[in-house]
Amino acid sequence: MIDDDGYFGENVAADYDESEASEFRPDVVDRTVDLLAELAGDGPALELGIGTGRIALPLAARGVPVHGIDLSRAMVDRLRAKPGGDAIDVTIGDFATARVEKSFSVAYLVFNTIMNLTTQDAQVDCFSNVAAHLAPGGRFVVEVMVPQLRRLPAGQQAVPFHISDTRWAFDTYDPATQAMSSNYVTIVDGRAEHSSIPFRYVWPAELDLMARLAGLRLRDRWEDWTREPFTGESGKHVSVWEKPAD
Ligand SMILES: C[S@@+](CC[C@H](N)C(=O)[O-])C[C@H]1O[C@@H](n2cnc3c(N)ncnc32)[C@H](O)[C@@H]1O
């Protein structure tokens, strides 16, 4: 269901932290925050798609001033309700275009959220918007999956990723358009409920071109927040682009 809050309205926000519990594990959060705090240095950070504050709150607790952008008031209400939430400034808007009158030493977009922008133009706009917010020498960090097309035999469109007695989930891919969706069928009180979120999958090299269009250059690409090398077998990447210092 989509409303003014996008795909993260009240129904999703209400149990986002519980349904994404594996991403809230302290070891996962700490690894992410360690790297972002190091990149922020003494400067402020901008989180695109700040959500309920999974990363922003612990990063702010390390002393890094964090500003967020998010479409969803329902998600941001959850952030506000948490300890420290009222100290984080949030701009409600589309992170591909929304402006904040401040410059940042690091901007970050984690947990596949770049794929919530469902057109190439919007993803390009996002890079350009980030570049406009970065101080000289500032960094843009993206964490996103590698498209799982190697799991698609010819003629197949769907990749299942969860199968249990009461819940089935699968991604669909359209290699012609790079449109993708994540689909969930859940049994609730004996009835099947279906939900679907659209995405646009994007390749690492394509992101590098978007960065180049925005005047940024690739500085690092790792398999994970622990800085393991990115290889042909990596399922995701953490990439860092830099705005030239002059
Ligand atoms: C998967 S959640 C990630 C939240 C948080 N960054 C985290 O790691 O838990 C994606 C968030 O991005 C927001 N979002 C998606 N597309 C957006 C857009 N175009 N502009 C602003 N926010 C957007 C959603 O409302 C949601 O809060």
- For residue 1, pLDDT over 70 is answered with no
- For residue 2, pLDDT over 70 is answered with no
Based on the domain organization, do 72 and 92 belong to the same domain? yes
Ligand 1 proximal residues by C-beta, below 6 Å = 6, 8, 49-51, 54-55, 69-72, 75, 94-96, 110-111, 113, 116-117
Q: In this structure, are residues 98 and 91 in contact, taking their beta carbons and an 8 Å threshold? A: yes
For the chain, the maximum distance between any two Cα atoms, rounded to a whole number of angstroms, is 62
45, with CB counted inside 10 A (0-12, 13-18, 19+), is: buried
**Nearest atom within ligand 1 for CA of residue 95:** 20
Is residue 140 assigned to a domain?
Answer: yes
Based on the domain organization, do 189 and 82 belong to the same domain? no
Contacts of 41 (CB under 8 A, 6+ apart): 105
Based on the domain organization, do 162 and 177 belong to the same domain? yes
Alpha-carbon gap, residue 81 to 16, rounded angstroms: 14
**Nearest atom within ligand 1 for CA of residue 24:** 9
Based on the domain organization, do 22 and 142 belong to the same domain? yes
Model confidence at 246, in pLDDT bands (50, 70, 90)?
Answer: confident
Alpha-carbon gap, residue 166 to 54, rounded angstroms: 27
- For residue 105, pLDDT over 70 is answered with yes
Q: In this structure, are residues 125 and 96 in contact, taking their beta carbons and an 8 Å threshold? A: yes
Is residue 58 assigned to a domain?
Answer: yes
Query: Which pLDDT score, from 0 to 100, does residue 170 have?
Result: 96
Q: Is 95 helix (H, G, I), strand (E, B) or coil?
A: coil
**Nearest atom within ligand 1 for CA of residue 117:** 19
Is residue 126 assigned to a domain?
Answer: yes
Model confidence at 4, in pLDDT bands (50, 70, 90)?
Answer: confident
Phi, psi of 183 (to 5 degrees): -125, 140
Q: Domain with 106 in it: what CATH number?
A: 3.40.50.150
Domain that holds residue 207: 10-146+202-242
**C-alpha dihedral over 227, 35, 235, 72, to 10 degrees?**
-170
Question: How many domains are contained in the chain?
Answer: 2
Model confidence at 43, in pLDDT bands (50, 70, 90)?
Answer: very high
Contacts of 63 (CB under 8 A, 6+ apart): none
Is residue 42 assigned to a domain?
Answer: yes
**CA 107 to ligand 1 centroid distance, Å:** 14
Alpha-carbon gap, residue 86 to 42, rounded angstroms: 21
**pTM of the entire structure?**
0.96
Query: Which pLDDT score, from 0 to 100, does residue 30 have?
Result: 98
- For residue 243, pLDDT over 80 is answered with yes
Which tens digits make up the pLDDT trace of 107-123? 999 999 999 999 999 99
Alpha-carbon gap, residue 67 to 210, rounded angstroms: 23
Minimum CA distance residue for ligand 1 atom 11: 49
- The DSSP bridge pattern shows strands 104-109 and 217-222 to be unpaired
Alpha-carbon gap, residue 14 to 181, rounded angstroms: 22
